[in-house]
Amino acid sequence: MTDLKTDEPTTDDEVDKPVDLPETEPAAELPEPADSPRSPKRLRRRPSALVSALAAALIGAIVVAGVFAYQLEHRRSLDTSRTEAVDTARTFAVTLFTYSADSFDTYVENVLSGATGSLAETFAETSSDLQATLVEAGATSTAQVLDIAAESTAIDQVEVLVIIDQTASNATVTEPRQAVNAVVMTLEKQEDGRWLTSDVANPSAAR
């Protein structure tokens, strides 16, 4: 019998030695598929007609409210100007048409404190001549307002119609004379809020 030869046992290092495998090339990347021309496109959503109508109505309401608020505030300002000017005209009319030769200096001061513009200039220029006339005649006058109303009104200027009952006397007249006169007074609002009279005229001359 022949002896069977067996392979020599391998060492542990040879058993654990890794087997080198042939390198493989990486797989080629496939191109991304192009969008199909038949694929549906995304459409932008348009606001509905109802939303547009509501937006337009809201904007319109805001505009109308703003205009109404402005008109209301303007009307209130006009009412305030009218009231203040009429009250001032009532007082100034009595001051202007009530005078006495004995207290003429005080009269001039009171008139100039309530006058402005052309009225103040004219009165200041003619007050000396007026004083001489009143002193010579011994004239006095008292006045009261019978009726008063604003004819035209702006925020800073008001024309006021004043009906005045005036009683005048002098040294040559035994009985005082009474007369009813109408004047149109133009009042202007100053920066400090005061109302001053810039003109006094009869109604026919004021128009």
Write the pLDDT tens digit of every residue in 110-135. Answer: 999 999 999 999 999 999 999 999 88
**Dist. CA 95–CA 110, nearest whole Å:** 7
Output the pTM of the full model: 0.65
pLDDT at 206 over 50: no
Note every long-range contact of 73-81, with CB atoms under 8 Å and residues 24 or more positions apart, other chains counting.
77/155, 78/153, 78/154, 78/155, 81/153, 81/154, 81/155, 81/156, 81/158, 81/189
Is position 2 within any domain? no
Inter-residue contact 163 to 148 (CB < 8 Å): yes
Is position 29 within any domain? no
**Dist. CA 202–CA 80, nearest whole Å:** 25
Write the pLDDT tens digit of every residue in 61-114. Answer: 676 666 656 566 657 888 999 999 999 999 999 999 999 988 999 999 999 999
User: CATH number for the domain including 131?
Assistant: 3.10.450.540
**Dist. CA 12–CA 107, nearest whole Å:** 138
Is position 180 within any domain? yes
Angle in degrees, CA 73, 76, 78, rounded to 5: 110
Question: Which pLDDT score, from 0 to 100, does residue 65 have?
Answer: 66
Write the pLDDT tens digit of every residue in 159-198. Answer: 999 999 999 998 887 788 999 999 999 999 999 999 999 9
Number of domains in the chain: 1
Is position 13 within any domain? no
Write the pLDDT tens digit of every residue in 142-162. Answer: 999 999 999 888 889 999 999
Q: Give one word for 135, left, alpha or beta, with left for phi > 0 and alpha for psi -120 to 50.
A: alpha
pLDDT bucket at 22, cuts 50 / 70 / 90: low
Q: Which of 141, 180, 153 is nearest to 164 (CA)?
A: 180
Inter-residue contact 163 to 146 (CB < 8 Å): yes
Is position 93 within any domain? yes
Question: Which pLDDT score, from 0 to 100, does residue 6 have?
Answer: 46
Is position 174 within any domain? yes
Is position 20 within any domain? no
Q: Which residue has the higher pLDDT, 78 or 9?
A: 78
Is position 54 within any domain? no
- Mean pLDDT value across residues 40-56: 64
186: containing domain: 60-206
